[in-house]
Homo-oligomer: A and B are copies of this chain.
Amino acid sequence: MKWIETSIMARRGVARGAVGSTHRLTEERQGTFRYVYGPYADPVLRIRPGDIVEAETLDAFGGVIKTEQDLPSKVLNMPFVNPQCGPIAVEGAEKGDVLAVHILSILPRGPQPCGTTALIPEFGGLVATSSTAMLNAPLPERVKKMEVTTAGVKFSDRVTLPYEPFIGTLGVSPEIEAVSSLQPDYWGGNMDLPDVAPGAVVYFPVQHKDAYLYLGDCHGRQGDGELCGVAVEMNATATVQVDLIKGWSIPGVRLETADFIMSIGSARPMEDAARMAYRDLIRWLVADYGFEESEAYFLCTQAGRVRVGNMVDPKYTLGASMLKTYIA
The total of chain A residues at the interface (CB under 8 A) is 82
Min distance, Cβ A314 to any Cβ of chain B, angstroms: 10
Selecting from A6-14, A54-62, A240-248, A269-277, the interface stretch reads: A269-277
* Residues on the B chain within 8 Å of A176, using CB: 35-36, 79-80, 178, 180
From B225, B293, B302, contact of A274 by CB (8 A): B225
The answer to the question of A260 belonging to the interface, with a C-beta cut-off of 8 Å to chain B, is no
A278 CA to B161 CA in the complex, in Å?
Answer: 19
Min distance, Cβ A73 to any Cβ of chain B, angstroms: 16
* Residues on the B chain within 8 Å of A299, using CB: 155, 159
Selecting from A44-52, A96-104, A136-144, A209-217, the interface stretch reads: A136-144
A320 CA to B128 CA in the complex, in Å?
Answer: 19
A274 touches B134 (CB 8 A): no
B302 touches A130 (CB 8 A): no
A316 to chain B: closest residue by CB: B271
A276 touches B136 (CB 8 A): no
The answer to the question of A172 belonging to the interface, with a C-beta cut-off of 8 Å to chain B, is no
* Residues on the B chain within 8 Å of A107, using CB: none
**26 chain-A/chain-B pairs, Cβ below 8 angstroms:** A38-B177, A125-B275, A126-B133, A126-B278, A130-B276, A132-B275, A133-B272, A133-B276, A134-B136, A134-B279, A136-B139, A140-B294, A144-B298, A155-B299, A159-B326, A159-B327, A176-B178, A225-B278, A225-B320, A226-B301, A231-B301, A269-B271, A271-B311, A271-B316, A274-B308, A308-B308
